[in-house]
Structure 1
């Protein structure tokens, strides 16, 4: 299964019945405490980047919503120093990629972006928010928390050489269960594979 199929299946694009509720960006604030637990209990520090994935609509109104997101993030960057860029991957999905050494700034910026889409009536276009972590003593060992807007829940993802690292995913699940609202049905724990070795899912 390729990235395109994985995202489609995981995030409910082809099956509205997979969606448990409307997009609710407030859930993203759960990561504001989870990053502390990740570092203190598991030795995983934030990678300094996070991303919001969404699908586009060919309309001037949606283009206006994207421009509004950019304006909000630009205004916020002057206060927090959070850098951002827009990226379209090879499968036509769009990403707002944020960079900041302060994980709380990343959470806040992703929330602002997601909330803007919702307020403009495009909450259904939101797919996922992805937060990256790496082992302090082994930076090549990474784990991600993926928040599915369609499912209203988080799940862990740890890619290693093109495969799931189930050991890491199990650790993340066991330690953060109760702190984050986790997806209970593991068939929805679909991977967001990076497009190359050493890359993040958002490219």
Structure 2
């Protein structure tokens, strides 16, 4: 399944019908302790970036909401040094990409951005929050924790390249973080968000 089909599945009628619960941005704070576990128990550290993916609406009110999100992140950059940029992928989906060496700051910034969308009535436009990790043992392993706003749960994603995933690693991540994060139990909802190049991230 390509990224276009993936996002259509997540945002489409089936995902709406099968939504597990209303997503709660507070769930994102679970990643604060998960970062520690990922490094201590699994040998993965933060890549220093995280991202929020959403679909747009052609309205002045939604544009004002995005402006408000950027204003919040601008203020946060002054406080914590967390940098951000906007990105639109080839399929028209939008990303707020955050960069900071402190994982706690990344979690906080993603939460602030997501919460603003929800507070302004656009929580349904949120697709996913994505937190990136890399191996600490001089290897090229990549792993991501994806929070699905449609399902209100996390799931692991470990791409080997742009079209193949490391299922063994994903199941290991699931077994170690189960109980620390609210995990998606249905594997059919572990949607891949492929990077556009082997060394890239899902957010481009």
TM-score range, shorter chain: over 0.9
Partner residue, 1:153: 153
Residue pair 2:160, 2:198 contacting (<8 A) in 1 also: no
Q: TM-score, normalised by structure 1?
A: 0.97
More strand by share: 1
SS at 1:163 equivalent: coil
C-alpha distance after superposition, 1:147-192 (max 9, x if no partner)? 0001000000000032110121111011000100000000000100
CA drift at 1:22 = 2.3
Structure 2: how far apart are the matches of 1:197 and 1:176? 26
Equivalent pairs counted in the alignment come to: 202
Structure 2: how far apart are the matches of 1:96 and 1:61? 18
Partner residue, 2:84: 84
C-alpha distance after superposition, 1:101-147 (max 9, x if no partner)? 00000000000000000011000000000000010113420000000
Structure 1: how far apart are the matches of 2:61 and 2:24? 21
Residue pair 2:132, 2:145 contacting (<8 A) in 1 also: yes
Residue pair 2:143, 2:156 contacting (<8 A) in 1 also: yes
Structure 2: how far apart are the matches of 1:69 and 1:54? 12
Partner residue, 2:13: 14
Structure 2: how far apart are the matches of 1:39 and 1:70? 30
Partner residue, 2:187: 186
CA drift at 1:196 = 1.1
RMSD across aligned positions (CA)? 0.9
Structure 2: how far apart are the matches of 1:124 and 1:115? 12
Partner residue, 1:125: 125
CA drift at 1:100 = 0.1
1:165 and 2:184 aligned: no
Q: TM-score, normalised by structure 2?
A: 0.97
Residue pair 2:6, 2:192 contacting (<8 A) in 1 also: yes
SS at 1:114 equivalent: helix
Structure 1: how far apart are the matches of 2:46 and 2:180? 17
Partner residue, 2:105: 105
Residue pair 1:23, 1:124 contacting (<8 A) in 2 also: no
